[in-house]
Structure 1
Amino acid sequence: MNPVTVITGGSRGIGAATARRLARAGHHIAFSYQRDRAAADTVLAELHATGTTAVAVPVDTRDPDQIATLFAAAADLGDLTGLVNNAGVTSPIGPFVDLDPTDLRHVVDVNLIGYILAAQQAARQMPAGGAIVNISSAAATLGSPGEYVHYAAVKAGTDALTIGLAKELAPRGIRVNAVAPGIIRTDIHTLSGQPDRPEQTAPRIPLGRPGEPDEIAAAITWLLGPDASYTTGTILRVSGGL
């Protein structure tokens, strides 16, 4: 039987790249998007063209009822085997003292509460052999001073979630890991007010360039697959040396 994987935030960036790669690996896919139906339809068309069974569901991941709807759609594809917790946001880059509380709450709610709600649904439904991959960030250990310390703090929370949940679910045969990307070429930088940030920061990256979404998708796909069968509670850093 084909694996069935849920991806939150699958219409763009790392999520879309992961959907495409998992489709090539034979997964059926249910992915969420928030507003951009056209982008979701484009990804769906690409997946269907490979023969993959896939659905796109509009979801605000902060809402437990909408998360439940996403997982119900995935159940129609078969038994759930994987979750990629990817949906995320940043806020305008700037000094910590200028952080708007509204932006703070939005970052916490989407990047941490949303992950917890999705992981909770997955833990309820997954049989032995399932796997969860949370998308963290190199910011969790770098701290992102002068940029978004609050985002870094939330991603450190993602790492703690990954480690704790890995230990709790291991007796049931469910693995939980995280991928911590560095600076990747996605439109998340536009949302933070610096669309050219990947190129601007390239000189400080040891490998001398930002990463590509498919490089992160490759790590996610490995962690979901049988070659990572003895890997759980791991934060896999894919950051070009940062």
Structure 2
Amino acid sequence: MNKVVIVTGAGRGIGAATATLLAGQGYAVCINYLKNQAAAEAVAGAIEQAGGRVITAQADVSSEAEVAALFETTQARLGRVTHLVNNAGILSTQARFEEISVERFRQVLDVNVTGAFLCAKAFIRQARGPGAIVNVSSGAAKSGSPFEYVDYAASKGAMDSMTRGLALELAARGIRVNG
């Protein structure tokens, strides 16, 4: 089976490490990034040097049109996407709940929750047979991150709920969903 994975937010940190690990396990990898093309290209270069198949693709995961283009590009260049790692996320500066603006709250939800929703939906639409979705969550979903990141914690709690619901919906189709 040709294993093809999109790792969102893969230009650095957990996403970069995940993309590198999966490439080493034989996956063709699409490294998604939003702004830092140089970082994404550096990760791709390291994967290529190790003999992996890799592309980079800029896309804002909170945009349905850009997510659709991300999946189209990946399929055209690497093959049908068999795995998805929803890693892209944002975390703003520490703030008490009452200091968090509506704009900040909405942006965190748009990227962290709506982005994962849109990517999972695009993945499901083109899925054929066994595959997997991994949603990168956080212990903040359980702790609530008081006095720091209640907005981020709320987004990861939503991610956990979406993960559970998707796992139950997709199990019969041979698609695992984990967080």
TM-score range, shorter chain: over 0.9
Query: What amino acid sits opposite 2:56 in the alignment?
Result: A
Runs of 4+ residues deviating >3 angstroms: none
Structure 2 match to 1:156:
157
Give the Å deviation of 1:38. 0.8
Question: Which segments of 5 or more consecutive residues in structure 2 lack a partner in the other structure?
Answer: none
C-alpha deviation, 1:79, in angstroms:
2.4
CA distance in 1 between counterparts of 2:130 and 2:27 reads 15
Contact 1:133 1:177 in 2 (8 A): yes
Q: Which runs of 5+ in 1 are unaligned?
A: 179-242
What SS does the corresponding residue of 1:9 show, helix, strand or coil?
Answer: coil
Q: Which residue of 2 aligns with 1:191?
A: none
CA distance, structure 1, for counterparts of residue 133 and residue 158 of structure 2 = 16
**1:41 Cα shift?**
1.0
Deviations 1:20-49 (A, max 9, x none): 101110000112101111111101101111
Which deviates further from its counterpart, 123-132 or 7-16? 123-132
Write the distance in 2 (CA, Å) between the matches of 1:25 and 1:133: 16
Note if 1:6 corresponds to 2:6: yes
Q: Which residue number corresponds to residue 116 of structure 1? A: 117
Please give the TM-score of this superposition, normalised by the length of structure 1: 0.72
* Aligned-residue offset at 1:109: 0.3
Tell me if the contact between 2:31 and 2:44 (Cα under 8 Å) persists in the aligned partners: no
Taking every aligned residue pair, what percent have the same amino acid on both sides?
A: 45
Aligned residues: 178
Q: Deviations over 1:27-75 (max 9, x none)?
A: 0011210111111110110111122111111111111111111111221
Of structures 1 and 2, the larger Rg is shown by 1
The Cα offsets for residues 69-114 of structure 1, whole Å up to 9 and x where unpaired, read as 1111221212221000000001110110111111111100000000
Which residue of 1 is the match for residue 16 of structure 2?
A: 16
Higher relative helix content: 2
Rounded to whole Å, the distance in 2 between the matches of 1:150 and 1:80 is 31
Residue of structure 1 in register with 2:140 after alignment: 139
What value does the CA root-mean-square deviation take over the aligned residues?
Answer: 0.9
